[in-house]
Amino acid sequence: MRFRCSAVPILLFSLALSAICAAQNLPTAPKPKSNADPSGNATGSPVEASPGNWSQLAKLTPTRSGEFFHSAAGISGDTLVVFGGNPSDANGTFAFIFVKTAAGWGNTPVAELRLPSPANASFSSFALDGDTAVAGVTASSSQSASAYVYSKPPGGWTTMKPTATLTPTDSVDGDFGFSVSVSGDAIVVGDRGYGSNAGSAYVFVKPAGGWTNMTQTAELTASDGILNDELGYSVSISGTTIAAGAPQLSSGSGKAYVFVEPATGWTNMTQTAELTVPGAADGAFLGLTISVNGDVVVAGAPSEFFPGAAYLFQKPSTGWTNMTETATLLPGDTLRGQYTGFGSPVSVGGKIVAVGAGYRGIPPNQEAGGIYVFAEPAGGWQNATSTTVVVPSDKHYFAFFSGVVSTAGNEMIGSTHEFYSRTSAAYVFGLP
């Protein structure tokens, strides 16, 4: 049996959407010493990498003493959310909302999102879509597992506590909330069930009267799931399609599942399709991160044992069915073949796929991080490498920079989480 990753490095490396403190959306494996020099730093030189047409639009930093940003949680339209707070804050603030104006992205948040009451919450994930934000909180000594929904008030975002609390009727393992995603009126919450079951995902559909405290509308499971598959480690929803990862961290190469909403609405069901990569090795962690947008699913495989990869699956013209990857996405610069954390997180927006690599870099900027960007070719997705890498203008060592692309594919948000110095920032990038 393989060594089971501890929670701390998993939380440290997921620096993005679809996953606060853990993944996007965002979870990862601890950094290995393989494919690197004896100090654990990648060797080689990341030459020929450039940001392409992407440019840095803004740098957002904490404005009050004691505050820090942990990760860039998500971007939707003119709104972005950054996870962070102040360890000594008595208000329970855990995230900051920024809204883009005619002058661009300002450094002052327009609102704070807070817990129902101050507590030592174990945040695992966060997602944003339009006027709805959702945070996943796994069980801790002072907090039961749940997901909190925040609905934008008619007058605009304001500092607020949850609009609604989502809970499952049958989960007792404490992992409910490990991942979350939202699209329109539907929210999906992952429950990886480590050590208890195969994992699952819960769907919540907004009632006609608006979000309110409620239990699930439907539960999604895998027909071939086994103990410690960890289905629900990552989840993503786009319209009527849900993608969920099962990375099999204890044993296996990992896999992903697609669930399509029935014509009569979401109901308890098993998968519509299973997505696999036949060549993936044991320990690939396929499905550790996942993203779906329209007809495309991207699953990250940021193994802790060898260089990572991202796999893209394109929905067939006849609909989702069991299938293998349409394309494999890999780094194209000279750090290819080194361990950079490539594959955590992953996100797809428009015709753009963004793949995080939080450990990318060489001395003196080891672990500075970066986001690899892939654009869909005119002839459709196919195996590809990329030398388009987005990094902050002030990149430096141990920043662990990574992030996600917006649904439209024209803006990107990333963040640094400098564990050793406890300083941090969020960055916004855009296309012309």
296-301 and 389-390 strand pairing: unpaired
User: Along the chain (432 residues), what's the average pLDDT of each consecutive run of 10 residues?
Assistant: 28 29 36 37 56 96 84 89 82 91 95 81 84 91 85 97 96 89 98 91 98 98 96 98 96 96 98 96 96 98 91 98 98 86 96 95 88 97 96 90 90 81 83 94
pLDDT value, residue 141: 61
pLDDT value, residue 29: 39
pLDDT value, residue 404: 92
3-state secondary structure string, the chain? CCCCCCHHHHHHHCEECCEECCECCECCCCCCCCCCCCCCCCCCCCCCCECCCCEEEEEECCCCCCCEEEEEEEEECCEEEEEEECCCCCCCEEEEEEECECCECCCCCCEEEECCCCCCCEEEEEEEECCEEEEEEECECCECCEEEEEECCCCCCCCECCCEEEECCCCCCCCEEEEEEEECCEEEEEECCCCCCCEEEEEEECCCCCCCCEECCEEEECCCCCCCCCECCEEEEECCEEEEEECCCCCCCEEEEEEECCCCCCCCEECCEEEECCCCCCCCCECCEEEEECCEEEEEECCCCCCCEEEEEECCCCCCCCEECCEEEEECCCCCCCCCCCCECEEEECCEEEEEECCCCCCCCCCCECEEEEECCCCCCCCEEECEEECCCCCCCCCCEEEEECCCCCEEEEEEEECCCCEEEEEEEECC
Please say whether the beta carbons of 396 and 40 come within 8 A: no
pLDDT value, residue 407: 85
CA-CA distance, 215 to 267, in Å (whole number)? 13
Write down the pTM of the prediction.
Answer: 0.90
pLDDT value, residue 224: 96
User: Distance from CA of residue 314 to its chain's centroid?
Assistant: 20
pLDDT value, residue 348: 97
pLDDT value, residue 91: 81
Please say whether the beta carbons of 312 and 298 come within 8 A: yes
CATH architecture of the domain formed by 7-430: 7 Propeller (2.130)
* Cβ neighbour number for residue 423 with a 10 Å cutoff: 14
Q: What tokens were used for 208? A: 């006609």
